[in-house]
Amino acid sequence: MKKPYLVAPSILSADFSRLGEEVKAVETAGADRLHVDVMDGHFVPNLTIGRPIIDSLSKVSSLPLDIHLMVNEPARMISYFFSSGIDSITIHLEAVEESHKDRTVKNLLETIQKNNILAGLALKPKTPVEKIFPLLSYIDLVLIMTVEPGFGGQSLIPQSVSKISIIKEKLRKQGLDNVLVHVDGGVNDKTVSLLSSADVLISGHFIFKHNNYKEAISILKTGSI
């Protein structure tokens, strides 16, 4: 039997006027990690939060904080997050300039890891998963986006789902079973059955719009209602 998924509520769909309470509520309801979307209004057409709010979150919650960095040229910004008590920083492959892309990404991942933070690599739905094959030995987590990044509450793109099992299998073959595969976008009670190769389910709208966070998280953990 498959072990339960880890569940990471995405605070993008939380009530920001009560963010501390929302975070404590999902923690009590069984969340395993907290997913924090940082957007710059350029890589994606939306703006969200930065270091001050992340610092506040780390004070109210003992959950590991995963930072999903949706910003162009993340090298400009990653060090800004280094002393925030966070667990992981995930950068987007597409956010790095084309010239010497693999070398630049590798350097960024190593810089993150040198600061005792787990390093992740994210892919937009249209980016072929094979593009990260040369970089697998430098990462701690993969984030497969199943919606176009930028907004919560969108529908999962079915064509992006096959990448989850492909990357999981590739990691297994390379002896990298410790690299966790995260899935982000449109994850809910209806789509969870499609995501069986994933390790971590990120979910915003489904959890924070549910009238019972514990029930929502438990549906995702077990993959069934």
Residues that bind ligand DX5 (CB under 6 A): 10, 12-13, 35, 37, 68, 147, 149-154, 184-187, 202-206
Task: Tell me, residue by residue from 156 to 195, as one string, x for binding to Zn ion by CB under 5 A and - for no binding.
Answer: ----------------------------x-----------
The piece of 24-32, 64-72, 92-100, 113-121 that touches Zn ion (CB under 5 A) is 64-72
CB-nearer residue toward ligand DX5: 40 or 184: 184
CB-nearer residue toward ligand DX5: 72 or 174: 72
Instruction: Select which of 32, 66, 140, 184 is catalytic.
Output: 184
DSSP 128-170: -GGGGGGGGGG-SEEEEESS-TT-SSPPP-GGGTHHHHHHHHH
Residue 66 within binding range of Zn ion, rule CB under 5 A: no
Q: Least CB distance from residue 204 to ligand DX5, whole Å?
A: 3
Instruction: Select which of 37, 40, 140, 199 is catalytic.
Output: 37
Q: Which phi and psi angles does 172 have, rounded to 5°?
A: -60, -45
Binds Zn ion (CB under 5 A): choice among 7, 32, 36, 37: 37
Amino acid at 188: N
Q: Least CB distance from residue 148 to ligand DX5, whole Å?
A: 7
Distance CA(38)–CA(65), nearest Å, equals 12
CA distances from 23 to 121, 126, 164 (A): 25, 31, 28
Catalytic residue check, 55: no
Distance CA(33)–CA(94), nearest Å, equals 25
146 binds, among ligand DX5, Zn ion, none (CB under 5 to 8 A by kind): none
Ranges within 67-126 binding Zn ion (CB under 5 A)? 68
Per-residue burial over 176-195, b if 16 or more Cβ lie within 10 Å, else e, is beebbbbbbbbbbbebbebb
112 binds, among ligand DX5, Zn ion, none (CB under 5 to 8 A by kind): none
CB-based contacts of 23: which residues, under 8 Å, 6+ apart?
11, 14, 34, 57, 60, 61, 63
Catalytic residue check, 184: yes
Q: Least CB distance from residue 122 to Zn ion, whole Å?
A: 8
First to last CA, the chain: 17
Question: Nearest residue by C-beta to Zn ion?
Answer: 68
**32 CB-side CA count, 13 A:** 15
CB-nearer residue toward ligand DX5: 100 or 126: 126
Active-site amino acid positions: 37, 184
